[in-house]
Amino acid sequence: MTAPQGRGIAETSSTGSTASTFRILHVSTGNVCRSPITERLTRHALSDRLGDPPPGYAGGTPIGGLIVESAGTWGHEGAPMEANAEIVLADFGADATGFVGRELLDEHVIRADLVLTATRDHRAQVISMGHSAGLRTFTLKEFTRLVRAIDPATLPDPREEGVVERARALVRAAAALRGWLLAPSPDADEVFDPYGAPITFFRSIGDEIHQALDPVVTALTGVPSR
């Protein structure tokens, strides 16, 4: 499906990102379970498609121009990731090293080019912060559903125009489609909170996140998973 033209999203970034980078922000509640898993699985998938990050890679270092971060609406500032979340990441070969929880701040939203939340409530909270966040904030599963409907041929070729320009175009296209492709049920766009649950539930949430991320990262980079 060819997406309608985006409405109200500038061709260049109006956020705090530079023209050469694209910043993805994952948001959940405590920033110790869902959003850390999503952040680190995104980074892992980007490295798989675009090559290993440079030596000394840290959260603020771009992979192919893409920077991936996370925060929580009630974030446990300075807290480590939940142990079960680390186990889930290890299952996928992803790295939990150096993670530190953050509370969601205005500056995080201002700088983000794409905000992906665990639930609709998180999405509403981000949008309520202002900063013209509505057209670049989606739940993760919502964004996956919209991305699946976008014809990759309508997006910039990352080999010619770069991954950053392709990512910006993808967000514009997804925002334009949002009113056309509705969720089949309210829960379809939710990733439920595994906090305090046994490892089996954490693993099911990890699988859910991984499956939702795969088409998103493929669409962002133009490179399918190996």
Binned at pLDDT 50, 70 and 90, residue 9 comes out as very low
What percentage of the chain exceeds 90 in pLDDT?
78
Residues in the chain: 226
For residues 38 and 70, give the distance between their C-alpha atoms in angstroms, rounded to a whole number: 8
Check pLDDT > 60 for residue 13: no
> What pLDDT digit, counting tens, does each position of 44-92 carry?
999 999 986 644 445 567 899 999 999 999 988 999 999 999 999 999 9
| Chain Cα centroid distance, residue 137 | 10
- SS3 letters across the chain: CCCCCCCCCCCCCCCCCCCCCEEEEEEECCCCCHHHHHHHHHHHHHHHHHCCCCCCCCCCCCECCEEEEEEECCCCCCCCCCHHHHHHHHHCCCCCCCCCCCECCHHHHHHCCEEEECCHHHHHHHHHCCCCCHHHEEEHHHHHHHHHCCCHHHCCCHHHHCHHHHHHHHHHHHHHHCCCCCCCCHHHHCCCCCCCCCHHHHHHHHHHHHHHHHHHHHHHHCCCCC
What percentage of the chain exceeds 70 in pLDDT?
88
Taking a C-beta distance cutoff of 8 angstroms, is the pair 20, 7 a contact? no
How far CA 226 is from CA of 13, 77, 80, 118, in Å, comes to 30, 35, 30, 26
The model's pTM: 0.90
Residue identified by tokens 């967000």 is: 171
The pLDDT assigned to 61 comes to 77
**What does pLDDT average to over the chain?**
89
> What pLDDT digit, counting tens, does each position of 194-216 carry?
999 999 999 999 999 999 999 99
Taking a C-beta distance cutoff of 8 angstroms, is the pair 12, 102 a contact? no
Q: Identify the bridge partners of residue 72 per DSSP, sorted by sequence position.
A: 28, 103
